[in-house]
Structure 1
Amino acid sequence: MNTKITVTDLFLGILAVMLIGVSFYQTWMGLQQIFGGSSFIVALVLSLILLFLLWQIRRAKTSGGSASSLGWIYFFFAIFCFVANFNALYTRFMKTDIYTTELREVNEKFTRLETDVESKLNYSVPDAKVRQAIRSELNLLKIQISDPKNVGIGPEARQILARIEKMIGKKVTPLTPVSETPEGYADLADRMEEQVVQMVYNLTPEEKNLMSDINDASLRWNKEIQSLLQMTPDVINGMAQGQIDNSLTEYNRLGSKAESILGRDKLKFEPAHSETQEVGKIGYAFSHAIKNFGMFPLVVLAGCILLDFGIMLIILLMPTENNRNTGRNESIFNSRRSGKTII
């Protein structure tokens, strides 16, 4: 048996250490959900086993022996690293995208709830599109009245009121603030909204409060979520889960309240739940990748295969020095047993 270390052996050794080293770090990150602080030890043990098996496979190849059994053992241990690597890489690069998608869906949920509840109420303005336009103008009016740069009912607010009056066909009375403070102007905005709502809707006190709560929540969460989405990925990743949990809690509360007031025969509300708490878990990474399969999951998949199985395939398929000297090009796939026949 030739124990001399060749340039090829040295190159393969360096390549193996580099690839398995990267795999070790990703395995460490990917297994934290299961093993916690012990994931470092587990990842280190798996990586050392893989390096040892690669060395044994190379020795078997250079000595002319069969490496198939070692290859299957390597595959068994490498599959654990592959799963952890996929979880770590997919979560790292998709985390922000997952959170931003969920945040936008929360905004859409509030909008749908607002629309669904409004569609079940009685109106003095029968056209749904006109009511929606009035609601949009009311949101603008509230923002304008509370704008620190131009508080109260100034020229811009009066223009908005004129558009609202044209749509409802009634005159809106400009009110005055109880005090010239931010709180006073916020109160003015609420009272102006209430005045217009009373003109548009024929509501009971409970229905009026419900619509006001839903409109306020929709406007507030839309503003907060849009503000968060403008932040850096690190800030989004750190704050998104709290925003999602709090917004969905309020969404479910308002939806249940609407169902209680309007009756289940008019509005059937299904509470919303988010799966973003599962981000970072192995099962979620694979399920999300399958549901949203595209170029990025494919790239991550290919990268994980390269990290954990690439070097093994190179060693198995690479001809040895002995094979070159005998003019044969053997690999695990075409090796044959040889021997002498005694006649």
Structure 2
Amino acid sequence: MNKKTTPADLFLGILALLLISVSFYQTWLGLQQIFGPASFVIALVLSLLLLFLCWMLRNAKLEGKPTGSLVGIYVFIASFCFIANFNALYTRFMKTDIYTDELRLINKSYTELENNIESKLSYKYNKMTAQNIEIKKKQMMEQIKDPGNKGIGERAQALIRDIEKLTGQKVDHLTPVGSDYEDLAERMGRQIDNMISDLSPEEQALKTDINNATLKWNKNIQELLLLSKKDKDVLSQGIIDESLAEYNKLGSRAQTVLGNEKIHFEPVVSQTQEVGKIGFAFEHAIKHFGMYQFVVLAGCILLDFVIVIIILLVTGPDNNRNNRGSVFNNKRSGNTLIPNN
């Protein structure tokens, strides 16, 4: 007589199917970076093996047989799913944060490179005065381009007077070509640069380019960070690649123009190119371990290992199954009474 399916069997079967189905999907996504289209078949095979081992483990427990070898095989196979699941889930949860950190680091790198280059340039004034003039100049340029008050208005004129006091020279008030106030701001800035600097044409061009690049990428990155999560995930890698390409060109150019003795530049490589790769997911999680990383880790353990733990804990030997057999194989023993005649 076969053992009937119990509610416990049904519950464990449905639970195993649900958990391993989710694990299958995440394993498929997590292995795509390595195996491409073949990841679907690999994930399916691994998931079917896990389901089969769950069934074998329950039967072994019911029959009172040792389960150590089956558990070992399960852990070995589930480990592959765990690694792939972690990669897929971590990438999904943390991709936006990884991109955001990289973009902010690029902004910081541009500012540091700009400051480093300007500190190595030669000026007619002492360093403190030159820095103050540079700050006033940038404020003036932004004021001239201000959409709400374009041109050399009262605030821009006040900044120009401050610059004149610092330099002891007269600043000419240039006029815009048509309504091109971007061009006006650039020409006013170059005029002040020429007043305070003692630079070669190459150094002057380098200074202008690093200033413009820093302003441009600071603006572009800030605008990108204000977008929705979906848009950031789509657009970030392109902005990162483009900004770093220009950053590396400017850094190498600065080293050539100023000389190795003045500035040492190391090209920067985007870390986000590794997003989606298994090694990067674990490396990033270890370096930035916190609540999000813990949640992803716990989720992966839940998907791949909790079902086998439940089976081992709630399943006990089935005595009816162990004692079940044919009535013809059962022998009765006892004493035979022989009457005395």
1:92 and 1:163, CA in 2 relative to 1: closer, same or farther beyond 3 A? farther
Show the counterpart of 1:42. 42
Show the counterpart of 2:329. none
1:323 and 1:247, CA in 2 relative to 1: closer, same or farther beyond 3 A? farther
Shift of 1:324: 12
Shift of 1:158: 1.8
Matched, 1:244 2:218: no
Show the counterpart of 1:174. 173
Contact 1:139–1:219, Cα closer than 8 Å, also in 2: no
Shift of 1:273: 1.0
Deviations 1:264-289 (A, max 9, x none): 11111111111210100111101111
Shift of 1:316: 1.2
Distance 2:21 2:85 in 1: 12
Matched, 1:294 2:302: no
Matched, 1:153 2:160: no
Shift of 1:188: 1.2
Shift of 1:37: 2.0
Shift of 1:167: 3.9
Distance 2:168 2:89 in 1: 58
Query: Cα RMSD between the aligned structures?
Result: 2.1
Shift of 1:246: 0.8
Show the counterpart of 1:72. 72
Shift of 1:18: 1.4
1:167 and 1:17, CA in 2 relative to 1: closer, same or farther beyond 3 A? farther
1:124 and 1:265, CA in 2 relative to 1: closer, same or farther beyond 3 A? same
What is the percentage of aligned positions where both structures have the same residue?
57
Look at both structures and tell me which one has the larger radius of gyration over its CA atoms: 2
Distance 2:24 2:130 in 1: 59
Distance 1:44 1:132 in 2: 64
Gaps of 5+ in 1: 327-343
Q: Residue 318 of structure 2 aligns to a residue in which SS? A: helix
TM-score normalized by structure 1?
Answer: 0.88
1:324 and 1:256, CA in 2 relative to 1: closer, same or farther beyond 3 A? farther
Show the counterpart of 1:90. 90
Distance 2:39 2:304 in 1: 18
Of the three residues 302, 306, 317, the one matched with 1:310 is 306
Distance 1:168 1:276 in 2: 45
Distance 1:305 1:283 in 2: 18
Letter of the 1:139 counterpart: K
Show the counterpart of 1:322. 318
Show the counterpart of 2:62. 62
Show the counterpart of 2:133. 134
Distance 2:302 2:132 in 1: 55
Of the three residues 208, 216, 220, the one matched with 2:216 is 220
Distance 2:163 2:230 in 1: 42
Contact 1:96–1:237, Cα closer than 8 Å, also in 2: yes
Shift of 1:255: 0.8
